[in-house]
Amino acid sequence: MGLLVDSKGEGGGGGSGRNGGSWGGRHSLIRRKQVDSVHVKSGGHQLAKELTVPHLVAIGVGSTIGAGVYILVGTVAREHSGPALAISFLIAGIAAALSAFCYAELASRCPSAGSAYHYTYICIGEGVAWLVGWALILEYTIGGSAVARGISPNLALLFGGEDSLPAIIARQHIPALGLVVDPCAAILVFIVTGLLCVGIKESTVAQGIVTIANVCAMIFVVVAGTYLGFKSGWTGYELPTGYFPFGVNGMLAGSATVFFAYIGFDSVASTAEEVKNPQRDLPLGIGAALSICCALYMLVSMVIVGLVPYYAMDPDTPISSAFASHGMQWAAYVITVGAVTALCSTLMGSILPQPRILMAMSRDGLLPPFFADINKKTQVPVKSTIATGICCAVLAFFMDVSQLAGMVSVGTLVAFTMVAISVLILRYVPPDEVPMPSSLRESIDSVWLRHGRNSQEINVEDPKTSVTKPLLEEVNITVELPLIKKQLPLINYTLSEAKRRKIAGWTIMFTCVGVLLLTYSASDLAIPSFLRYTFCGGGGILLLLGLIVLTCIDQDDARHTFGHTGGFLCPFVPLLPIICILINVYLLINLGADTWARVAVWLLIGVVVYVFYGRSHSSLEDAVYVPVAHADEIFRSSETYVA
Ligand SMILES: NC(=[NH2+])NCCC[C@H](N)C(=O)O
């Protein structure tokens, strides 16, 4: 018994693996949820479906443009890129675009609120998904409070100097505790939280208005800067050192630093359940937001490095100092307004996704049900939004979290990496089994009885099937007649398909190992040189082999059906996701040992919470896994099923 399911679903990277001869449960770490399980389970109130492309662009641009561009341009031009700063921004933008493509496909195929957490749960498994969700909690909370803390110094500049804020919102030094508290930061966090509780549409409109102000400030920098540049003869570009004073390597190092400026577009994916037409609008929103940010960043940096020689740039206020050096002191006001509005909208971009991810984790049983509650009137996860706001405000009030900024990047980069791996898995070893509540056991058994014999007959090993020759006949049948696949599921379950999945799963896993070895050998970490060469060679070979094997084997044909219905498919699979994994892991490894030590503490706490709470409360805890093909039949034949 059980040959049907035993013969497949063992894709290593896919995380599946049987734990018995019959349809049964899964090891908690690798159990995967169903693509649309959210619709089956959510029951209670739903989030309001209000958002369209312009809203998504406002969320994307607003969350992405932050302190990054206003501050980073100075340091990066001085230390890494010189006049080639715009090229650094372009390369970082392309790197971010690779992740955006992966996000776009998954957001379009699995439009649920949990973004990276949700995709990882579907594709990789519960254990990794939990860690991604846990890392995202850290990212958004620390990211949000760091941003909030950055607002008051800028606001003070607008009022005319460091000590000019009204006393109740000015920073206070408390010598007894050795702390500098920032009431302004906490107040802003509460305002944003309140706004987010009112309704998704209202808060998005507010974010749009703030973002327009900030984009106008950047356009001002470009237009006024171009005017000054032509008047003064673009002195920054006339240097004897040429365009690449630190060489191409310096310019690339600059790209790695400015990658930070592109973080934030992923907030768009977390609103998936609030989008009217998610399949079409999410990819459009993500793509448009990223393109706008990339264009603005490049224009601003082109103008700024032309106005002032790179070595003379001010590392703290590069843009306003550049204008001041051409006698335009008043421009500092416009730029400060730009910076304050940019920070406010990034703050919102951090507090918006967090409750949605908490909600998704709580719906799956990994966090207490409190977080999944959706307010009946505003159709927003109000309780988790308030919880997020309180944590963020307390942190921002008491602590200068800027030293923890590296931890923010860990969350993002881990999520980006997992999303790229998830695309590979969804294309090569998509979940082929559906978790069913164990209450449906009787129906499952009766369906099993009906299909048991057939499956054993069909399941004959075919040793001739090779990797490089996918089963064309099968593909044709399923592409042309997608319905047949549903009605005659067993066509797909011959051993050749099982073999294909197995090979694909292992290949994805080895490719990831190759990426790790290669990036480790290219990092600044102290490694003996013979090891460095071994890792580099070994990693390179694994990566190349992985790429070749994945290119040769067939992808899951469900993508054709999905593509025909207007959904977005990431181009150049497997090359694009693999490059994306390579870049993100490289950036992750170079974040430094301190950052990793701090993150490790947080992740360890996460493991404890999972072991003592999540694992046993997971809604997949006593689920029974059945092949996708039988799911409908089981549901139909079960009277206990309530949609
Ligand atoms: N969710 C986050 N990690 N947000 C941080 C966004 C940082 C933003 N890109 C900036 O340049 O300031």
- ipTM at complex level: 0.97
Which has the minimum average pLDDT: 213-217, 340-344, 467-471? Answer: 467-471
Find residue 467's DSSP bridge partners.
Answer: none
- Dihedrals φ, ψ of 219, to 5°? -65, -35
How far does the centroid of ligand 1 lie from the alpha carbon of residue 610, in Å? 28
pLDDT at 453 over 80: no
Distance CA 323, CA 453 (A): 79
List strand residue ranges (DSSP E) for 111-205, in order: 172-174, 179-181
Averaged over 159-166, what is the pLDDT?
Answer: 76
On the CB side of 581, CA atoms within 13 Å amount to: 27
- The pLDDT assigned to 82 comes to 94
Q: What would the 3-class secondary structure string for 187-228 be?
A: HHHHHHHHHHHHCHHHHHHHHHHHHHHHHHHHHHHHHHHHHH
Encoded tokens for 631:
């799911």
Contact 120, 108 (CB under 8 A): no
Specify the higher pLDDT residue, 83 or 155. 83
Specify the higher pLDDT residue, 567 or 36. 567
On the CB side of 433, CA atoms within 13 Å amount to: 31
- The pLDDT assigned to 433 comes to 75
The DSSP letter of residue 638 is -
- Report the candidate in 343, 352, 344, 349 with the shortest Cα–Cα distance to residue 388: 352
175 band by pLDDT with thresholds 50, 70 and 90: confident
Contact 384, 137 (CB under 8 A): no
| Structure confidence by residue, pLDDT tens digits, 537-580 | 999 999 999 999 999 888 887 777 777 777 899 999 899 999 99
How far does the centroid of ligand 1 lie from the alpha carbon of residue 202, in Å? 22
Which has the minimum average pLDDT: 25-39, 391-405, 458-472, 575-589? Answer: 458-472
How far does the centroid of ligand 1 lie from the alpha carbon of residue 261, in Å? 6
Nearest CA to ligand 1 atom 4: 264
Whether residue 193 has its Cβ less than 6 Å from ligand 1: no
Q: Report the percent of the chain where pLDDT is more than 70.
A: 82
Of 61, 63, 214, 292, the residue with max ligand 1 atoms within 8 A of its CB, to mutate for a pocket test, comes to 63
Whether residue 143 has its Cβ less than 6 Å from ligand 1: yes
DSSP-assigned letters across all residues of 485-548: HHHSGGGGGSHHHHHHHHHHHHHHHHHHHHHHHHHHHHSSS---HHHHHHHHHHHHHHHHHHHH
Contact 102, 577 (CB under 8 A): yes
Encoded tokens for 170:
């000015």
pLDDT at 631 over 80: no
Specify the higher pLDDT residue, 390 or 466. 390
How far does the centroid of ligand 1 lie from the alpha carbon of residue 591, in Å? 16
Whether residue 365 has its Cβ less than 6 Å from ligand 1: no
Whether residue 261 has its Cβ less than 6 Å from ligand 1: yes
* Residue 581 CB partners (closer than 8 Å, separation 6+): 417, 420, 421, 511, 512, 515
Distance CA 305, CA 317 (A): 13
- Report the candidate in 336, 258, 244, 331 with the shortest Cα–Cα distance to residue 297: 258
Q: Taking phi first (over 0 means left), then psi (-120 to 50 degrees means alpha), and beta for anything else, what does residue 327 get?
A: left
How far does the centroid of ligand 1 lie from the alpha carbon of residue 117, in Å? 19
Find residue 612's DSSP bridge partners.
Answer: none
Whether residue 408 has its Cβ less than 6 Å from ligand 1: yes
Distance CA 91, CA 586 (A): 15
In order of 287, 334, 378, 558, the CA distances from 94 in angstroms are: 12, 29, 38, 28
Whether residue 144 has its Cβ less than 6 Å from ligand 1: no
How far does the centroid of ligand 1 lie from the alpha carbon of residue 612, in Å? 32
Whether residue 68 has its Cβ less than 6 Å from ligand 1: yes
581 band by pLDDT with thresholds 50, 70 and 90: very high
3-state SS assignment for residue 624: strand
pLDDT at 11 over 90: no
Specify the higher pLDDT residue, 241 or 10. 241
- The pLDDT assigned to 23 comes to 53
Encoded tokens for 404:
């923890």
The closest-lying atom of ligand 1 relative to the alpha carbon of residue 63 is 6
Whether residue 139 has its Cβ less than 6 Å from ligand 1: yes
How far does the centroid of ligand 1 lie from the alpha carbon of residue 81, in Å? 21
Angle formed at CA 77 by CA 75 and CA 80, multiple of 5 degrees: 90
| Structure confidence by residue, pLDDT tens digits, 243-296 | 999 999 899 989 988 998 999 999 999 999 999 999 899 999 999 999 999 999
Nearest CA to ligand 1 atom 12: 66
How far does the centroid of ligand 1 lie from the alpha carbon of residue 588, in Å? 16
Of 207, 263, 300, the residue with max ligand 1 atoms within 8 A of its CB, to mutate for a pocket test, comes to 263
Distance CA 35, CA 217 (A): 42
- Which residue is associated with the tokens 């950055």? 150
| Structure confidence by residue, pLDDT tens digits, 313-334 | 998 889 999 999 999 989 989 9
How far does the centroid of ligand 1 lie from the alpha carbon of residue 93, in Å? 14
Distance CA 557, CA 492 (A): 10
| Structure confidence by residue, pLDDT tens digits, 194-246 | 999 999 999 999 999 999 999 999 999 999 999 999 999 999 999 888 899 99
How far does the centroid of ligand 1 lie from the alpha carbon of residue 67, in Å? 8
Q: Report the percent of the chain where pLDDT is more than 90.
A: 56
What is the pTM for the complete model shown?
0.86
The closest-lying atom of ligand 1 relative to the alpha carbon of residue 69 is 11
Whether residue 71 has its Cβ less than 6 Å from ligand 1: no
35 band by pLDDT with thresholds 50, 70 and 90: low
Whether residue 270 has its Cβ less than 6 Å from ligand 1: no
- Report the candidate in 267, 279, 170, 316 with the shortest Cα–Cα distance to residue 568: 279
How far does the centroid of ligand 1 lie from the alpha carbon of residue 265, in Å? 9
